[in-house]
Amino acid sequence: MTSRIAALDGGTYYHHRTLYEPRYRDFFDGVIYTRELGDTVLEDYDTLIVSCRTDPSVLRPHREKFRQFLESGRTLVIMGSTGPAEWISGIEWHFTPTNFWWWKEGGSLGLHVTAPDHPLFDHITLADATWHHHGHLIVPDGAVSLIDVGDLGSVLYDDTVTTSGRMIVTTLDPMYHHGSHFMPATTRFLDGFLPWLKGMTPS
């Protein structure tokens, strides 16, 4: 049995390309327009993706809905630039200056894999998660960071301990860049990340 996945659509061009075009469309059992979130029964799905760069002002009114979704044992995937600390408890995000040109300057983002045995890495490599990031996260006690940035904190972690469900939280924004037709690593990331999510055994 595969996971039933829904994703939020904020009405942007990059959400449209990611959620509706053929490359990824079959991974989504539902696409929920953010303005219709209040009328949607989230428990019809096993996993909900809060898509990259979704405006947090449309998420804040639904804090309780997200909490109940997690408490029902389901999986919430929180993508980059969604302001999660504003609408979900227990997220600690810190701003990090974004280096857009490290690859031109011969530098490094300082990313490193911290849980190489995690099943996600059967689907992606560190290179697939390396373009830039918009901050770092403090990992809750008992949760597992998958990719850290230097010694600052995490850019991607897996939390199965702070709620009855599961939160996968990242500061990465692959949907935005895939949908904008630049940064090929972001497409490779989605090529691996979405099949991994789809293959999760529902709770």
Task: Assign 3-class secondary structure to 3-67.
Answer: CCEEEEECCCHHHHHHHHCHHHHCCCCEEEEHHHHHHCCHHHCCEEEECCCCCHHHHHHHHHHHH
Q: Are 195 and 42 in contact (CB under 8 A)?
A: no
67: Cα separation from own chain's centroid: 17
**What average pLDDT does the chain have?**
93
pLDDT tens, residue by residue, 75-97: 999 999 999 999 999 999 998 77
Give the pair of three-digit tokens for residue 16. Answer: 């449209």
Residue with tokens 């497409």: 187
pLDDT at residue 99 tops 80: no
For residue 82, what are the contacts with CB-CB under 8 A and spacing of at least 6? 50, 51, 52, 53, 54, 56, 59
pLDDT tens, residue by residue, 151-160: 999 999 999 9
169: Cα separation from own chain's centroid: 5
Q: What share of the chain is helix, strand, coil (3-state, %, to 5)?
A: 35, 20, 45
Q: Are 157 and 137 in contact (CB under 8 A)?
A: yes
- CATH, domain 5-198, list 3.40.50.880, 3.30.2130.10, 3.90.1150.10, 1.10.579.10: 3.40.50.880
pLDDT at residue 129 tops 70: yes
pLDDT of residue 183: 86
pLDDT of residue 133: 81
Distance CA 53, CA 80 (A): 6
Which segments of 27-173 does DSSP mark as H helices, in order? 56-59, 63-71, 102-105
Distance CA 49, CA 7 (A): 4
- For 57, other C-beta atoms within 10 Å of its C-beta total 11
Domain ranges of the chain: 5-198
